Amino acid sequence: MAASHTTAPSTSAGQSASAAAPSAAASCSDAPPSEAPSGTAPSGDTAWGAAGAARPNAGTARPSAGAGQASDDAFWADAERHLVRYGPEFTPEIIECAAGSFVYTAGGRKLLDFTSGQMSAILGHSHPEIVNTVQRQIASLDHLFSGMLSRPVVDLARRLAETLPAPLEKALLLTTGAESNEAAVRMAKLVTGKHEIVSFARSWHGMTQAAASATYSAGRKGYGPGAPGNFAIPVPNAYRPDFTTPDGALDWRRQLDFAFDLIDAQSTGSLAACLVEPILSSGGIIEPPAGYFAALKEKCRERGMLLIFDEAQTGLCRTGTWYALQREGVVPDILTLSKTLGAGLPLAAVVTSAEIEQEAYERGFLFFTTHAADPLVAAVGNTVLDVLERERLDERARSLGTFLRRGLDEIAGRHEVVGDVRGRGLLAGLELVVDGEAGRGSSDLGARVTQRCLDLGLHMNIVQLTGMGGVLRMAPPLTATEEELSLGLTILDQAIGESGAAL
């Protein structure tokens, strides 16, 4: 790690990181003043969507009071008429602004954001240093021909290399996680001269062709053939083991051996790479056991495959270390970063060794896209690194992660419907079940808890996959306070209690 990571004084986990978590008044000064009290169901129009109440479709007028009714009606009518629906139902709130750990709605509600936007805003919303960087950079140099270079781009590439273990030192700056995984897979195929890709059966790597073909948790049906030569291996889930030792624990070594026996049987002899997340997020916050990735890397080495780590959600301090790969010290051949690198803005990176980059270059590697090496978001990336280093947010994520885990464990002790608590740092998962340990999952229970949390002022995300219960994903900003985490835990505790009792 770079020496600069340990030069700043530590920040207490119970306080906001200095200049890190802006007040709502500073960046969201026009936010509606009213809010649902902590742990209390919102009343009147803000109780929309409570368990049992119909949720509006995109175009359904939300009940609201006062002069804003006509405006809200028009908003939802326009949304229904003009927006393509690209996933789950839209949250039935009009979001006006966001600051720190909260988003503010047109109806006067203040929602605690336990997903950091789309698992990205690690410095909270509207961080003042990010705001200043965007305002300064866009006034001087925002976008260039993709073959031109600027200082923010070269600075960010160098600084990323300084945070990473050797030999990861060459970076390609892009926009999204899907794009970075697309580039990584394309590079691996070119360098190895092969085309087959292996990934986890509950993976999520993006929605573009190669990334979507390596994604198995959702979105595979109805689109015709994916990229040829994609294979899935089982996820080593200790809570729901498929291969077991005599005492019933997960036997991940036997599972991994079996998985690659099947891969070898199906492969045409063209295995190029294995693309995996160190902690599966959309797969239900599942972290493979210690030793797994070292064994996986050896499986790749034996077959001449490259190992690609997708650290879109785990990279840059969220798990309590700068990168999740540091737990075991397993260094991939290619690393992809996105979400957290831009702290909410579209910035991603592919990082690899000089040897692999040279081989790719000599073979004519082409990934010339519109926003490759854009200076505006690169400047934001440099500011993100500034704050992470100065505020020691890796240490803060460890401390707050311990606080969050303790609270989740206490909730699990009070509610039988909580089957498992897992995760690392400020990436946590809580699996809901309906008949005890490792029991049946309940999509209805998960949906009820998620909706009740929203009613009470907490936004979270639920993962619903076949074969497991609903898993509540939590990824609050690294700048959150203990008080904000306590508020979220209080709301979650109440929501689980009320929803479980309604089953």
| Residue 100 vs residues 132, 242, 386: alpha-carbon distances, Å | 15, 41, 18
Task: Round to the nearest angstrom and report the end-to-end CA distance of the chain.
Answer: 49
Which of 357, 473, 484, 494 is labelled catalytic? 473
Q: What share of the chain has pLDDT > 70, as a percent? A: 84
Position 150 pLDDT exceeds 70: yes
What's the mean pLDDT in 156-182? Answer: 98
How much is the pLDDT for 462? Answer: 86
Residue in this structure with the two tokens 């051949």, named with its chain if needed: 333
How much is the pLDDT for 425? Answer: 98
CA distance 437 to 455: 28
Which of 76, 93, 311, 313 is labelled catalytic? 313
Active site residue 473: yes
Position 47 pLDDT exceeds 50: no
Active site residue 310: yes
Signed CA dihedral, 65, 70, 75, 76: sign only? positive
Active site residue 189: no
Sheet order of strands, 95-99 included: 95-99, 102-105, 110-113, 458-459
Active site residue 494: no
Backbone dihedral region for residue 243 (phi beyond 0: left; psi -120 to 50: alpha; all else: beta): beta
Which tokens is 53 given? Answer: 């109440």
Contacts of 185 (CB under 8 A, 6+ apart): 197, 210, 211, 214, 272, 273, 275, 308
Most confident among 62-66, 173-177, 438-442 (mean pLDDT)? 173-177
Which of 339, 392, 398, 452 is labelled catalytic? 339
Contacts of 270 (CB under 8 A, 6+ apart): 194, 195, 196, 229
Which of 277, 311, 394, 484 is labelled catalytic? 277
Signed CA dihedral, 320, 201, 179, 329: sign only? positive
How much is the pLDDT for 67? Answer: 54
Q: What share of the chain has pLDDT > 90, as a percent? A: 80
How much is the pLDDT for 60? Answer: 32
Active site residue 297: no
pTM above 0.85, yes or no: yes
How much is the pLDDT for 66? Answer: 53
CA 306 to chain centre: 23
What number of other Cβ atoms are within 10 A of residue 341's Cβ? Answer: 29
Model confidence at 63, pLDDT cuts 50, 70, 90, reads very low
Model confidence at 434, pLDDT cuts 50, 70, 90, reads confident
Residue in this structure with the two tokens 């087959």, named with its chain if needed: 196
Which of 35, 196, 310, 395 is labelled catalytic? 310
Position 35 pLDDT exceeds 50: no
Active site residue 414: no
